Amino acid sequence: MPYAERPPLAGNRLAGWAAVVLFHALLGWALFHGLADRVVEVLRNPIEVSIVEEVRAPPAPAPKLPAPPRPAAPPPPLIVPPPEVTAVTEPPPATMAAATPLAVQARLEAGTCDKPDYPTAALRAEATGTSRIRFTVDASGMMTRAEVERSAGPTREHRMLDQAAIGALSKCRFKPGLDKQGQAAGGVAVVEYVWKID
């Protein structure tokens, strides 16, 4: 039979439309009765909200500042008072006296030389005392020997004072001793140098 003569399929179309309508009706009913109730229940339940506080680290302790340094003790005064130089007149040794008896002993001229410098270590240790130095001079007044007859004290700093006295006083001018005829004959001059701090 030709295509134009085929009968229309009205019954099949009608059944398809009925199935579609029935499916939509069932779907609407299910949504209305089942899912709608569940949605309402979910919306009715309280919503729990928790506030999370930010955890802050404890503040770092303040750094400890070192204690301020103690002020250093002031240095000892560097001004040394004028020296006390004492020329002690004493007879020469027995051997010299027998060979050349002196009428006038040799002596140091204190104004012809500079005063000894106070050694720094002795000044810091506040060492004081009197250095007794024996100088031997020849007939021209030149010093030929110097030795400590009595130290300024027992410590190392006192021995430094003795050596400072020898070093400075050795540069002084000496007058030689005179014999009975008034001739220069050398001799011994004993000098005491007083160390003190004011």
Alpha-carbon Rg for the chain in angstroms: 61
pLDDT at 150: 96
23 in a structural domain: yes
148 in a structural domain: yes
Residue 195 has φ and ψ, to the nearest 5°, of -100, 125
68 in a structural domain: no
Asked if residue 153 and residue 92 are part of one domain, the reply reads yes
CA gap 27, 66 in Å, rounded: 84
pLDDT at 110: 84
pLDDT at 22: 79
Asked if residue 173 and residue 96 are part of one domain, the reply reads yes
Asked if residue 91 and residue 34 are part of one domain, the reply reads no
Asked if residue 176 and residue 128 are part of one domain, the reply reads yes
Q: How many domains does the chain have?
A: 2
Asked if residue 106 and residue 36 are part of one domain, the reply reads no
Q: For residue 177, what are the domain limits?
A: 84-195
Report the CATH number that the domain containing residue 126 is assigned in CATH. Answer: 3.30.2420.10
The pTM score is 0.52
Asked if residue 38 and residue 92 are part of one domain, the reply reads no
Asked if residue 183 and residue 98 are part of one domain, the reply reads yes
Quick check: 166 and 146 in contact, CB under 8 A?
yes
Q: Which residue has the higher pLDDT, 113 or 2?
A: 113
Asked if residue 25 and residue 119 are part of one domain, the reply reads no
Asked if residue 170 and residue 114 are part of one domain, the reply reads yes
175 in a structural domain: yes
Asked if residue 113 and residue 40 are part of one domain, the reply reads no
User: Tens of pLDDT along 31-83?
Assistant: 666 655 555 555 555 556 556 566 666 677 767 767 767 766 655 544 444 44
- Of residues 54, 140, 32, 134, the one with CA closest to residue 92: 134
Percentage of residues in the chain having pLDDT higher than 90: 41
Quick check: 148 and 135 in contact, CB under 8 A?
no
With bands split at pLDDT 50, 70 and 90, how would you rate the model's confidence at 135? Answer: very high
**Is residue 131 packed enough to be buried (19+ CB in 10 Å), middle (13-18) or exposed (0-12)?**
buried
Amino acid identity, position 111: G
155 in a structural domain: yes
